[in-house]
Amino acid sequence: MDNKETKVRKFSGVVVSTKMNKTAVVLVERTKTHPKYKKQYKTSRRYKAHDENNLCKVGDSVVIAECRPISKEKKWRIIK
């Protein structure tokens, strides 16, 4: 058996909602480059992240990491 190391995806973002129990909605903004025109533009996506002790507040900067599915839409957890 060979040991396969899986690369864990991590993003940094800002908490935009904490209305659900043990869940925070994190807005992650990324810059992409257009393949033809080479112009850079911003894209954003909202991820639902697991917050076990409800410590996050709206406006906090957090780091989220991918994990096993916790619920239908929650596949991320807050690590910082």
Looking at the predicted structure, is the pLDDT value of residue 25 above 90?
A: yes
20 — pLDDT class (breaks 50, 70, 90): very high
By percentage, how much of the chain surpasses pLDDT 90? 89
The pTM of the full predicted model, rounded to 2 decimals, is 0.85
* Mean pLDDT, the chain, integer: 93
Distances 76 to 17, 52, 57 between C-alpha atoms, Å: 15, 12, 17
What's the confidence (pLDDT) of residue 39? 97
With respect to CATH, is domain 10-78 assigned 2.40.50.140? yes
